[in-house]
Amino acid sequence: MESDASTTSRALATEAVHAGREDLAGLGLHAVPIDLSTTYPSYDSRQEAARIDEFAATGARPQGPPVYARLDNPTTARFETALARLEGAASAVGFASGMAALSAVLLARASQGLRHVVAVRPLYGCSDHLLSAGLLGTEVTWTDPAGVADAIRPETGLVMVETPANPTLAEIDIRALAHSCGSVPLLVDSTFATPVLQRPLEHGARIVLHSATKYLGGHGDVLAGVVACDEEFARVLRQLRFATGGVLHPLSGYLLLRGLSTLPVRMRAAAGTAAELSRRLAADSRVAAVHYPKLGGAMVAFEVHGDPHRVIAGVRLITPAVSLGSVDTLIQHPASISHRIVAEGDRRSAGVSEQLLRMSVGLEDVDDLWADLDGALRGRSARPDRTAVHAEGRTAGPAPDGSARVPSPAVR
């Protein structure tokens, strides 16, 4: 959705709670309404035909009811407006997941005959895989930031980076890189930074991508992606989203908008704790290296001297799980999980060693987190009551051997 330029001078904390909601008081509402309609009635088929023609020709958001939910939705549009405002973008387009968002960008460029992508490792494992395997008919050249200008060809449609990168937290100078890209659009996956810490468009990037599943949602209960860009590219993305169907669900749009309200506060609180944990880890003899971005943020990566799998098995307060950006702290072993799909050699050369652990710091007390990490680094044994039960509610049921399975309140 296009953002309203007249309100771009407000501070980020103000936009986080007001953008996309300015009309609510006039509607007599305080909370954002959720529109779950999949279709919208109209007694005027000629007018509907004209609106469909207009969308097919331009990709502009339809005025009035969206005709059909794959075309647009008022609740998700509010989230798009808010995110565009936070990123300082003209527009934003929401998708069903971060990977759906990246797929749409790649398809958009490929559909314009620009199938070649220049990318810098590391990227999130599935993004790396999508490019390396050429699943969408694209071709990738991997290089480092200094090699980007030389890697660009006439058919290059995109330069893609993550900064800070998943999982090593390596940082890239966006302005310098944007300069090397010339007229080729630079896409920055800014999932780890969020607009609270970094606004890539202000430094010359043309496209910002988020796995909104992470900090934007912020509570581990929404899968979503979003692209912030100019309105011209947004129109292509909307047409692609309509044709391919990777839409953001309205309930997710609602939860994302709610998540944005607290994003600045959550990021600042978690980043303070992450910075302190990174200092304590750096001073610890059991830890070989700590990676914490100069930019700040709530992610910490560290390499241990001992067995990283024992650390994962030993946490009790911290949740051993992939993903990031939730209110609670998560830890995972990238070589086993988030980057497993990347070929081992490529993983290693991108700095994803077997000793590396990636931690997403949440909102818990720093001393409680440190006590848990300390215990896990000591190699404390895995909880004896840990049971692999995934069903919601974990109701007792017969085990494969026929005996009763007792649900454990300690399983998390």
Q: Which spans of this chain sit near ligand PLP (rule: CB under 6 A)?
A: 97-99, 124, 126-127, 162, 166, 189, 191, 211, 213, 223, 225
Under 8 Å between Cβ of 85 and 19 = yes
Collapsing DSSP to helix, strand or coil, 213 comes out as: coil
Q: Which helix (H) or strand (E) holds 118?
A: strand 116-120
C-alpha 267/C-alpha 370 separation (Å) is: 19
CB of 168 to ligand PLP, least distance (A): 12
C-alpha 195/C-alpha 82 separation (Å) is: 11
Active-site residue, 214 included: yes
Active-site residue, 70 included: yes
C-alpha 154/C-alpha 70 separation (Å) is: 34
CB of 269 to ligand PLP, least distance (A): 21
> Catalytic one among 199, 214, 266, 358?
214
Under 8 Å between Cβ of 181 and 159 = yes
356-360/330-332 β-pairing: antiparallel
Beta carbon nearer to ligand PLP, 77 or 96: 96
Beta carbon nearer to ligand PLP, 229 or 377: 229
Q: Which helix (H) or strand (E) holds 286?
A: none
> Catalytic one among 124, 215, 254, 292?
124
Residue of 96, 98, 83, 93 lying closest to 338 (CA atoms) = 98
CB of 119 to ligand PLP, least distance (A): 12
Cis preceding linkage at 74, omega within 30: no
Active-site residue, 144 included: no
Q: Roughly how many angstroms between the first and final C-alpha of the chain, as a whole number?
A: 38
CB of 358 to ligand PLP, least distance (A): 10
Beta carbon nearer to ligand PLP, 314 or 325: 325
CB of 270 to ligand PLP, least distance (A): 16
Beta carbon nearer to ligand PLP, 79 or 124: 124
> What burial letters (b/e) apply to 147-165, b meaning 16+ CB within 10 Å?
ebbebbeeebbbbbbbbbb
Alpha helices in 202-343 (DSSP H): 231-244, 250-282, 308-314
Q: 219 to each of 40, 77, 252, 325, how far by Cα in Å?
A: 31, 21, 12, 7
Using only C-alpha atoms, the chain has a radius of gyration, in whole angstroms, of 22
DSSP structural state of residue 383? P
CB of 33 to ligand PLP, least distance (A): 25
Active-site residue, 254 included: no
> Catalytic one among 70, 258, 340, 405?
70
Beta carbon nearer to ligand PLP, 213 or 355: 213
Beta carbon nearer to ligand PLP, 75 or 338: 338
Point out the residues that are catalytic.
Answer: 70, 124, 189, 214
